[in-house]
Amino acid sequence: MIKILALLVGLLSLSCNAADSASYPLRAWQLGKTGSVTVKFDVDKNGVAENFRIVESSPKGFFERSAINAVKAQKFQPGKPDKDRELTVKFEK
């Protein structure tokens, strides 16, 4: 389950529950890994996220793709394009 935890001055945080197998990477689940990824991205005029950049990932190599997919799934306000927004996705068991 992905849910928004906080929205503060353009900094978003998402949480990914291990029960959501579609977004929690299988390899990370099997190895008992938890972690977080901070993604920088832009929002276009239609409220769609684009131009993803990984700012920080811990541990590296497990959650980056799933974090980008979680950001892609978010709906942002149309008509308010923005650059360099940051969102941290947390992966917890």
State the pTM of this model.
Answer: 0.79
Of residues 24 and 11, more confidence is placed in: 24
**CB-based contacts of 25-28 (< 8 A; 24+ apart in sequence):** 25/62, 25/63, 25/65, 25/66, 25/91, 27/62, 28/62, 28/63, 28/91
- Give percent of the chain with pLDDT exceeding 90: 70
For residue 62, is pLDDT > 70? yes
Q: How many domains does the chain have?
A: 1
CATH number for position 88: 3.30.2420.10
Which long-range contacts does 23-30 make (Cβ < 8 Å, 24+ apart)?
A: 23/66, 23/69, 23/70, 24/66, 24/91, 25/62, 25/63, 25/65, 25/66, 25/91, 27/62, 28/62, 28/63, 28/91, 29/93
| Predicted confidence (pLDDT) at residue 5 exceeds the cutoff of 90 | no
Q: Which domain holds residue 54?
A: 2-92
